[in-house]
Amino acid sequence: MQVRAGVAEATVEGLIADVYVRHDGLAGRARELIAAATAEGDSRHADLGRLVLAELDNRGGRVADGVRQARDMLESSDDRVVLAHAHAVIAGGLWRVGDNAEAVRHAYPANRMLVDGDPLALRVDHAIILALQVNDQRIGGISHEEFEAAQQLADACGMPALILANLNNWAWCSYTGGDLESASALVRRMRAHSDRTGEPLNASCADTVARILLETGHPREATLVIEQAITDAAPTDSDAIPAALITLADIQRRDGDTGTAMRTLAACREIAARDRLPDVDALALRMLAGCHAELGDFQAAYREMVDFHEAWTVRRSEQSEVMARVAHAQFAVDEAHRNTELFREMAERDALTGLWNRRRSDAQLATVLGTDRPACVALLDLDHFKLVNDTFTHAVGDIVLCRVADILRALAGHAGRHGGEEFILVLETDLAAAAEICEAMRRAVAAYDWQAVAPGLRVTTSVGLTPVRPDDDARSVVRRADEHLYVAKRAGRDRVVSGR
């Protein structure tokens, strides 16, 4: 079994790394892992395989589906590693629809829940996600600390795809944060690592390299990199190739070849329409407007800008819709969980008094009996309660039960209705302290303003109390408390009788 578990772990690590490389056949490999792990009763690796499929949904533009699957995993699994990776998948999905603040809130537990000894590729993946999301859209420059931590893990892991992924994100955030010097140094590291290991740059990495080469005065080299990526590099996100085309069009436009740039943008828009990528289409429209303006066709430029603003509005609307669907899905999960807890509690509450019912009290008693901590059990019975019902009506009797329940709730630990006018207390303390609690409750019941409930009404209670013994079961300890209660009744009622 350990050998098979080791194979499954290696398979998971390979899948995690290959998400950053190429998606062809990846879903099939994940399903094979799920089937094999399920057959072996290995729920951890089966669930991690399912989360790979969820991540592929995220990267394929099906964020609502990907996040939903990961949220379902948060509800259904109690495996720490699975839960950590579910948080990572949710973080990635939310980041892709622009909810960066909520994404970071999932990225942190994804990173912190993993420890030394957990699959290293997962730890790298989660560190990469956290570093990117902490720095994306950051105001005031880049924080290198998170990227450096992720890089140390990636280098220790040794998987080229993960090393390149972190360097790529680090370079891009440095560039967008205005630190072109760091971005350029990181691009050099990316290219050197790719050459040394033979791991090709995926389309997103090539886009970063080309963009930074362009900004640092190497347009020819940037053109070679981005053209090769468009022709040969594997896309790891649905918008990777169209984004690369936008970079190529920008290079062509800056080189004065506006007509070629417009044809490149047209090709970009065709892919965006085919793959339903309105965000990319809007960016292409904005660049087309600039191209028309450079050619002196201001009417066409105006039309393109109008189209851009309409497309951008649609994109924001669609993005908001996805975020709303994600939020609705989480609301449904939370509500179902809340309702489950609510209905469970309702099933364990006495309908009249709101105290715990007999079933819940039995469960609480079983929990106490399973420990070696001091505990006591008390039975309380309302004195002459039949006379209360006969004299003042059953409605008044019900009010009395509810008022006594309020007193018990305020003073006791676990208080339950044991049946009729009898109550049970499970007190996790020693006999002396439990006796003080019971005496306080007896006095509180006797001193209550029962005249306000019904003129002439007086209510007292008798209590039998006993400690839990090492050899007790539920029946023996309750029987002993009942015996002490009987003694209290025979001794004149309105008193506490305790004994071992």
The residues, any chain, with a CB within 8 Å of residue 88's CB and separated by 6 or more, are 106, 107, 110, 125, 126, 129
What is the C-alpha separation between 424 and 114, in angstroms, rounded?
Answer: 44
What is the C-alpha separation between 249 and 264, in angstroms, rounded?
Answer: 6
What is the C-alpha separation between 490 and 224, in angstroms, rounded?
Answer: 101
Strands (E), 167-270: none
The candidate with the shortest Cα–Cα distance to 291, out of 282, 283, 300, is 300
13 in active site:
no
Give the H or E element holding residue 462.
strand 461-467
In the set 40, 75, 421, 439, the catalytic residue is: 421
What is the C-alpha separation between 367 and 370, in angstroms, rounded?
Answer: 5
Structural contact between residues 130 and 173, judged by C-beta atoms closer than 8 angstroms: no
What is the C-alpha separation between 383 and 385, in angstroms, rounded?
Answer: 5
Torsion angles phi and psi, residue 375, rounded to 5: -155, 155
Give the H or E element holding residue 415.
strand 414-419
- Catalytically annotated residues: 421
